[in-house]
Amino acid sequence: MEWIVKTLDMWNVKACVLRTDQEPSIIAIAEKVKQKRSAETILQTSPRRSHQSLGACERWHRTVQEELRALKTQLELDANVEVATSDNISVWMVGHASWALHRFHKSRSWG
């Protein structure tokens, strides 16, 4: 939760809406993020079985997965090692893939 709050602050996000699906664990995380933020944070839960209501988020998730696979493949080729999901570098790669996409990805809607 601290990472989410720090990232939102670093991006200078003031008021925001956190939209989640119905999964209790993600709702709990969103509630804790709201508690820790000083800026207005509105929580929304999408309707059951409504993948379209989270379409942009689902697409972003897919893009991060693609970037993560590319990072993992390149590391394995360059270092001639096999990276397991339990390796410490795997945790770092997830954060790095997300950061790199946020920093360098050209969105069709944002230009």
DSSP code for 15: S
For tokens 């059951």, name the residue. Answer: 48
Return all residues near 16 (Cβ < 8 A) that are at least 6 apart.
8, 39, 40, 41, 42
Contact between residue 21 and residue 49 where contact means Cβ atoms under 8 Å apart: no
Nearest-Å Rg of the Cα atoms of the chain is 16
pLDDT by residue for the chain (111 residues), tens digit each?
Answer: 788 888 888 888 889 999 888 888 989 999 999 999 999 999 988 877 666 666 777 788 888 999 999 999 999 999 999 999 899 999 899 989 988 888 887 766 654
- Say what the pTM is: 0.56
Sign of the C-alpha dihedral computed for residues 47, 52, 58 and 62 taken in this order? positive
